[in-house]
Amino acid sequence: MSSPALMEKLFQTAVDIEAEAPEPTTRWLTFSLLENRYAIEIDQIREILRPCEPTPVPGAPNWMLGVINLRGAIVTVLSLHTMLNRPVPEPSEQQRVLVTDITGEPVGLTVDAVGDVWNAPDRLFEPAPKVADSKEALPVAGVFQRKDYPLMVLDVQAVLGRIGALV
């Protein structure tokens, strides 16, 4: 086979492979808080825990529930309800603590319930418009429109940044 013919065949093979490539997707952990449904990129979650009684930290803000020992690592547990100036619900079997360490330190975020792991096509993600920070809402990076409801993507970096600004 001549060199130009070989190059054309290789080029066509590359085009065919690219056309068959699967659509890019991201895995999301869904959860509920108050009346809203949220998602966090699964890679940002280190662990999901059942709530336990954290050790209070004297002088800490009211949204910092305290700290727990997770296999030798100290995890600060935060109440998203209190951060939003909403009442903390009664304990339930569905409540969980989502542990993330995207800042280098493990932090636990309380949620009302964990939903499912959703493998979403990236093309369905709609970035959130830039709006002023509100103490009545969690910062979101964007939204997915699922069949029956919108699923807001929690901006974990912004949540933790807000906490840093409040301390």
What domains appear along the chain, each with residue ranges and CATH number?
23-166 (2.40.50.180)
Residue 15 has a pLDDT of: 54
The amino acid at residue 43 is D
Could you read off the pLDDT of 118-157 as tens digits, one per residue?
Answer: 999 999 999 987 765 666 678 889 999 888 889 999 999 8
Q: Are the C-beta atoms of residues 27 and 117 closer than 8 Å to each other?
A: yes
At 26, the pLDDT band (50, 70, 90 cuts) reads: very high
Average pLDDT over residues 97-123: 93
pTM for the predicted model, two decimal places: 0.80
- Find the length of the chain: 167
Residue 148 has a pLDDT of: 87
Q: Calculate what percentage of the chain has a pLDDT beyond 70.
A: 82
| Beta-carbon contacts of residue 98 (< 8 Å; ≥ 6 apart) | 29, 31, 40, 45, 48, 108, 109, 111, 114
Average pLDDT over residues 96-108: 92
Q: Are the C-beta atoms of residues 97 and 81 closer than 8 Å to each other?
A: no
| Beta-carbon contacts of residue 56 (< 8 Å; ≥ 6 apart) | 65, 66
Could you read off the pLDDT of 43-55 as tens digits, one per residue?
Answer: 999 999 999 999 9
Average pLDDT over residues 110-122: 94
Residue 7: pLDDT over 70: no
* Joined tokens for residue 61: 């803000």
